[in-house]
Structure 1
Amino acid sequence: MPKAKVTKTTVGTQSSSTTNRTPVKINTGGTPMWYKVLMFGFMLFGLVWLLVNYLAGDQIQFMMELGPWNYLIGFGGLIIGLLMTMGWR
């Protein structure tokens, strides 16, 4: 069986003049403030809507007209806010 040829240069080494040792700050890409405000706003809106519906829904005219749609509005706000938490870093 033939033997492999051996080269005299070493593979994978670089000269020290081409190596850059300057530390680089890496941006991790945190969530912007507007996203957090919107996310918590949706959750708070849904919670407040449901609380007002339970406590004073029969005294507020437009909430009486909405009827069972109040649950969709309240839980919809909560669900949208909770789904937005998946994009929060």
Structure 2
Amino acid sequence: MPKSRNDRKKKAAYTPPPSAEKPKVSPRWLVPAMVAFGLLGILWIAVYYIAGESVPYMRDLGNWNLAIGFSGIIIAVILSTRWH
């Protein structure tokens, strides 16, 4: 006579093996560098718009000041992806 479904042996729930990896830790320099690049990028753009004509080296760079400022912001975003 066939066994009923209730009589079958139930499978144990899957439990993954314990992980031998240690949790990843960010380097100590990462957060200060990320904040510094972000703030410097924002400040560079702000100074360019507020007093760009009176600052000698900013006047010479022209619209390249925007590229410099946004580069700092982009570097900060790239560093933030590496933060654990």
TM-score (norm 2): 0.71
1:10-44 Cα distance to aligned partner (Å, 9 max, x none): xxxxxxxxxxxxxxxx7412212211111111111
- For residues 63-78 of structure 1, the aligned pairs below 5 Å read 63-78=58-73
- Unaligned residue ranges in structure 1 (runs of 5+): 1-25
Two-structure CA RMSD over aligned residues (Å): 1.2
Residue identity opposite 2:76 in structure 1: G
| Fraction of identical pairs, as percent | 36
Where has structure 1 moved over 4 Å in runs of 4 or more?
Answer: none
- Unaligned residue ranges in structure 2 (runs of 5+): 1-20
Q: Count the aligned residue pairs.
A: 64
- Which residue number in structure 1 is paired with residue 37 of structure 2? 42
TM-score (norm 1): 0.67
Question: CA separation in 1, counterparts of 2:31 and 2:22?
Answer: 19
Highest Rg: 1 or 2?
Answer: 1
